[in-house]
Amino acid sequence: MTASLPPARIVVTGATGQIGRKALAILARQAWCEHLVGIDLHADDTLFGPELRERLTLVAADLEDPDGAWTRHFEGVDAVLHLAARHSTPDASWEEALGSYNMTLNVLTAAATHGARRLVFSSSNHAMGGYKDQPLAARMGPGKLTAQTEPAPGTRWFDGQRDVHSLAYGTSKVMGERLCRAYSAVTEGRLSTVAARIGWILPDGNDPRDITYSGVAHQRAPADGALDEPSRRALTWFRDMWLSNGDLERLLIAALTADSSNWEGGSVIVNGVSANRGSAWDVAGGRASIGYDPQDDVQERLRVAP
């Protein structure tokens, strides 16, 4: 959208996932959002309240099928929020990552073909996960991870049972970012795109004190003093990319409504994290490009008594 006209009709893929449900609730609160189309592999409208269901068309579809009936739901939409993935957790296999890439390609094609003006792609912190550890970690400092930093996909960590490397998942996100840039260029900016590298969002209340060194969100993190050095480093990395519920709302609204007229090639990348003090994740770039102004700080929340 070269003019900051809010989108009245929005498609949200991955609609029944935990971020999808939060996104739909956020969008349904906006006066300018008249109708929502939610697409997921399985459509369960019992996940949503009656007020949201009145404004929501929920569609069960396989986005890996480029010619599926789901594409007709893109007719007349203004914007697309693409959250869906074949395997939504970072331990995805290469086969699953390829499936996610195919979904992104198909969604971009449907958006461009049907005249959508904006697509917001849910990229991931795992596109930059290589900066967690040496040797790339030596380059890091507050605000050093920007949209211009060379991607280093794949985070390594111990999940409590095994060593995990999110290389396939992170690579699919980097490839999705490049697809977004290509589609914006080919359409000469008629389809502007925002790739948001989403940080850490926990379900429901999204309390950062529940972030653990192992990547398991539902367990209360052990005391820092009980962790070895690799676990402390992992915990710090995960906490520093926390994205609060309030900042998720600010991010989505900014990404969907920002004026794209000054974006090079009609596409931008932003870090989807809160204003976490001392974090390597830059938020100044998102503030400048889309007006995303995060307000919350993980360090302040960690100091709040349970």
| Higher per-residue confidence, 216 vs 3 | 216
Query: What is the model's pLDDT at position 250?
Result: 98
% the chain with pLDDT above 90: 80
The SS3 call for residue 202 is: coil
**CB-neighbour burial class of residue 35 (10 A; exposed 0-12, middle 13-18, buried 19+):** middle
Query: What is the model's pLDDT at position 12?
Result: 98
Query: What is the model's pLDDT at position 45?
Result: 85
Query: What is the model's pLDDT at position 221?
Result: 54
How many residues belong to the chain?
Answer: 306
pLDDT tens digits for range 73-95: 999 999 999 999 998 888 899 99
What Rg value do the Cα atoms of the chain yield, rounded?
A: 18
Average pLDDT of the residues in 140-157: 95
- Checking if the pLDDT of 62 tops 90, the result is yes
- Checking if the pLDDT of 256 tops 90, the result is yes
Query: What is the model's pLDDT at position 264?
Result: 94
% the chain with pLDDT above 70: 94
- Residue 98's pLDDT band, with cuts at 50, 70 and 90, is very high
Rounded distance between C-alpha atoms, residue 177 and residue 182, angstroms: 9
Comparing 51-60, 130-139, 146-155, 297-306, the range with the smallest average pLDDT is: 297-306
Phi, psi of 81, deg, nearest 5: -110, 110
Query: What is the model's pLDDT at position 216?
Result: 63
Which residues 6+ apart lie within 8 Å of 14 measured at CB?
A: 20, 39, 40, 82, 83, 84, 85, 88, 122
Average pLDDT of the residues in 247-256: 98
pLDDT tens digits for range 159-218: 878 889 999 999 999 999 999 999 999 999 999 999 999 999 999 999 998 888 886 654
Cis? peptide before 135, omega within 30° of 0: yes
- Residue 158's pLDDT band, with cuts at 50, 70 and 90, is confident
Comparing 51-65, 218-232, 236-250, the range with the smallest average pLDDT is: 218-232
- Checking if the pLDDT of 224 tops 80, the result is no
- Residue 271's pLDDT band, with cuts at 50, 70 and 90, is very high
Model confidence, pTM: 0.94
